[in-house]
């Protein structure tokens, strides 16, 4: 069996929510009756196998299927797992026609199921875990990649005032604030001294690129964080808005571009696959398409942005590593992921050197 199939199997499907994952179904039923338009019980709760940060559940009821996302139980880092921010993002974007699930309600009362949560509609379709898209034909792959880039451009072209998201983040200096934030998060979850992370913590804030635009930024935009139509190269919902804010749209674009500098390993990377044979567009084609859709003349040298993105990923995975050590990690895949901190930091530094470090 290939690693690609492993990823598809590991992260797909649902299991009955039991033990530590169980929710208080009586409380949840009462809350949904009061807060979810058209809801009709009884309900059954399943947990999605995929995802690492905010536990995600499928609620099957007489009135249909819903998705619930909650904060993890136990002590959390400040500003992490902000389900209220996720809800605000999809609640603002849904009426604009941008592809997100229908938002139903946010609960900030821990007494209902033990943590904050929100409920949204279940969007049926395909999740693509493997960027090589095994089994697809080349033209379908190409159009799928274009759909992913076009949808990102649509997000960055969204009028933040019209979406009610003008106060969703601070204006300007996005990368400065992000470098500071991920440095702090890394420090809070540091488990050992890593000289390469120290070099990045010194280099990145001293070399920040200028910010020329502000838009809604998703923060984790990649091929496996969206749902595609069952039989068409079309994005029907973008998921996982936990890291979204107002910021520099180049953060999202350079993050999705990381697929072209990351080996596949059954996940979103396409650096080491035969892109021409598979029909996957080259990075310069993707840059041109994104720039045409957003009215840009081009994008700056991406090496600094790649260094930042790999540094940020190292910080996120370090948080997971700390939770593994503390025994509060949410996923069976967490331990395996936690071993990726050092390689991510080394990769970040290689790009920092290309950017002039």
Q: Name residue, tokens 């990377």.
A: 269
User: Strands (DSSP E) along 91-186, which ranges?
Assistant: 103-107, 117-121
Contact 251, 176 (CB under 8 A): no
Cis peptide, bond prior to residue 179, ω within 30 of zero = no
CA pair distance 253, 59, nearest whole angstrom: 33
pTM of the shown model? 0.87
| C-beta separation of 29 from 42 below 8 A | yes
Fold (topology level) of 138-354: Aminoglycoside 3'-phosphotransferase; Chain: A, domain 2 (3.90.1200)
Q: Domain extents for the chain?
A: 13-121, 138-354
The DSSP symbol for 112 reads T
Output the tens digit of pLDDT for each of the chain's 357 residues. 333 344 444 445 777 777 777 899 999 999 999 999 999 999 999 998 765 567 889 999 999 999 999 887 665 555 556 889 999 999 999 999 999 999 999 999 999 998 899 999 999 999 999 999 999 999 999 999 999 999 999 999 999 999 999 999 988 899 999 999 999 999 998 888 899 999 999 999 999 999 999 999 999 999 999 999 999 999 999 998 988 999 999 999 999 999 999 999 889 999 999 999 999 999 999 999 999 999 999 999 999 999 999 999 999 889 888 877 777 666 666 667 767 889 999 999 999 999 999
Q: What is the pLDDT of residue 171?
A: 80
How far apart are alpha carbons 129 and 2 in whole angstroms?
A: 13
Q: How many CA atoms lie within 13 A of 89 on its CB side?
A: 25
Could you give the CA distance from residue 330 to residue 234 in angstroms, rounded to a whole number? 31
* CATH classification for the domain delimited by 13-121, as one of 3.50.50.100, 3.30.200.20, 3.90.550.10, 3.60.15.10: 3.30.200.20
Give the per-residue pLDDT at 1: 30
Q: Take residue 196 and report the two structure tokens written for it.
A: 């390469």
């Amino acid at each position: 069996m290939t690693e690609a199939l492993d990823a598809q199997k590991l992260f797909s499907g649902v299991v009955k929510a039991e033990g530590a994952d169980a929710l208080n179904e009586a409380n949840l039923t009462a809350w949904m009756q009061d807060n979810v338009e058209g809801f009709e019980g009884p309900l059954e709760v399943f947990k999605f196998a995929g995802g690492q940060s905010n536990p995600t559940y499928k609620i099957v009821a007489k009135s249909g299927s819903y998705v619930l996302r909650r904060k993890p139980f136990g002590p959390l880092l400040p500003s992490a797992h902000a389900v209220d921010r996720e809800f605000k993002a999809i609640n603002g974007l849904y009426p604009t026609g941008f592809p997100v699930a229908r938002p139903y309600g946010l609960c900030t009362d821990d007494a209902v199921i033990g943590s904050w949560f929100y409920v949204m509609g279940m969007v049926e379709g395909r999740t693509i875990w493997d960027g090589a898209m095994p089994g697809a034909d080349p033209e379908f792959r190409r159009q799928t990649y274009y759909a992913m880039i076009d949808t990102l451009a649509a997000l960055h072209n969204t009028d933040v005032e019209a979406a009610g998201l003008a106060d969703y983040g601070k204006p300007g200096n996005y990368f400065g604030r992000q470098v500071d934030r991920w440095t702090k998060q890394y420090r809070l979850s540091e488990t050992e001294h890593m000289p390469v992370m120290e070099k990045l913590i010194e280099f990145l804030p001293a070399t920040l690129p200028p910010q020329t635009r502000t838009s809604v930024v998703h923060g984790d935009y990649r091929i496996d964080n969206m749902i595609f139509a069952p039989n068409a190269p079309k994005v029907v919902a973008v998921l996982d808005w936990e890291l979204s804010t107002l910021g520099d749209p180049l953060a999202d674009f350079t993050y999705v571009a990381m697929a072209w500098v990351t080996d596949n390993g059954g996940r979103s990377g396409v650096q080491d696959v035969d892109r021409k044979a598979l029909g996957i567009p080259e990075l310069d084609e993707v840059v041109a398409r994104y720039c045409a859709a957003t009215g840009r003349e081009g994008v700056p040298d991406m090496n600094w942005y790649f260094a930042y993105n790999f540094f940020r990923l190292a910080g996120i995975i370090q948080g997971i590593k700390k939770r593994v050590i503390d025994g509060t990690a949410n996923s069976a895949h967490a331990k395996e992921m936690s071993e990726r901190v050092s390689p991510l930091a080394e990769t970040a530094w290689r790009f920092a050197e290309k950017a002039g470090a």
